Each structure stands twice: as C-alpha cells, then as structure tokens.
C-alpha cells in the first residue's frame, strides 16, 4: 500500500490479486526492503519460498532468490523465508526461517552461501539459530538476526 499524507486510504503497489505463485500474486509476504537503486520492493514471499523484486511501476514481480513454490535446503532453495535485506553492493541476505539459517546471495547469483546458522539444524548455542525471522545490517555490514525461537538477537560480524 502507498500512503499519501492526509489521506487515509492506501494504494496497492504489489500483490492484491489473491494468494498464490503467479507473478502477479504474493503469498504471505513478510519482510521487505526498499531498493532505491531500482525503485523496487524486495519481498520475502514466505509461502512461495522465494524472494521477489517488484518494481513500483510494474504489475508483476521477478524472481530474486529461491525457486517458486518449491521448498528445500540446498544452496538455491529456501524454506519459508521471513525477511530480506540488501547491502550497498546489491547482495541479498535472507532469513531462511525453516532452514534455521541466513543465506547470502551475491549480486546476480542464484546459489547462496550460509553465513549464519547450520542448514536444517536448530539450536541455542552461538553458532546455531532457531527460526530466524528478522535481519538487518549496520553501517559496517555486521548482521543482526532476530533469532525468534531462542528469544534473542544475535550479531554476526561482517562476512
């Protein structure tokens, strides 16, 4: 939704066509990041198991990471991603929630590197995550993770 000062009604700018895996739909969109370089929203479409890019002047999205409608745990797949952020180089960081990991997709790449957590293993020591939901980067590119299942915020130094 887009909001105009003083107006109470928003304008749909992404989705709004029911839920599903069609390129005009979102399915449980969770985290999002505004990319000013491309004037796009980068969206974690959770039940699509994908990160999508939706230009604000477009009526559909393009796939950024994951595989539409397919959940998995290899380097190209995601499982219920909840959040996404980008760094200044355009690299994509994903809270891959059901895989208990944070994935880094280098700009333009379809295979990710796990930079926090261990794929498909949850835990509460300082190297494991349990259902990470939120992520953000500071100005030094240190990563902060809302490690939801462990009721904590973890910091990981720049990758």
The list of the chain residues with pLDDT below 50 reads none
**Nearest partner of 65 among 113, 15, 20, 116, judged by Cα:** 113
Q: What share of the chain is helix, strand, coil (3-state, %, to 5)?
A: 5, 45, 50
Sign of CA dihedral 83, 133, 141, 104: negative
Count of beta carbons in the 10 Å neighbourhood of residue 11: 10
pLDDT at residue number 1:
59
Q: What is the pLDDT of residue 3?
A: 67
pLDDT in tens, 70-94: 999 999 999 999 999 999 999 999 9
Measured between alpha carbons, how far is 98 from 71 in angstroms, rounded to an integer? 9
pLDDT score at 76: 98
What pLDDT, on a 0 to 100 scale, did the predictor assign at position 2?
64
pTM here is 0.93
Contacts 24+ apart (CB under 8 A), 114-123: 115/143, 115/156, 115/159, 116/143, 116/145, 116/154, 116/156, 119/73, 120/73, 122/149
Give the residues across from 46 on adjacent strands: none
Q: Are 85 and 137 in contact (CB under 8 A)?
A: yes
CATH class assigned to 29-156? mainly beta
């Amino acid at each position: 939704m887009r909001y105009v000062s003083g107006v109470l009604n928003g304008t749909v700018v992404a989705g709004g066509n029911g839920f599903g895996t069609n390129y005009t739909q979102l399915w449980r969109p969770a985290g999002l990041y505004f990319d000013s370089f491309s004037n796009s929203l980068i969206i974690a479409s959770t039940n699509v198991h994908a990160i999508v890019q939706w230009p604000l002047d477009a009526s559909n999205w393009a796939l950024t990471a994951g595989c539409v409608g397919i959940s998995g745990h290899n380097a190209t797949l995601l499982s219920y991603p909840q959040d996404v952020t980008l760094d200044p180089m355009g690299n994509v960081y994903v809270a891959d929630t059901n895989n208990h990991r944070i994935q880094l997709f280098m700009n333009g790449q379809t295979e990710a590197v796990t930079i926090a957590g261990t794929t498909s293993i949850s835990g509460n020591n300082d190297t494991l995550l349990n259902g990470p939901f939120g992520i953000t980067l500071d100005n030094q590119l240190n990563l902060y993770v809302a490690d939801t299942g462990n009721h904590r915020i973890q910091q990981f130094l720049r990758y």
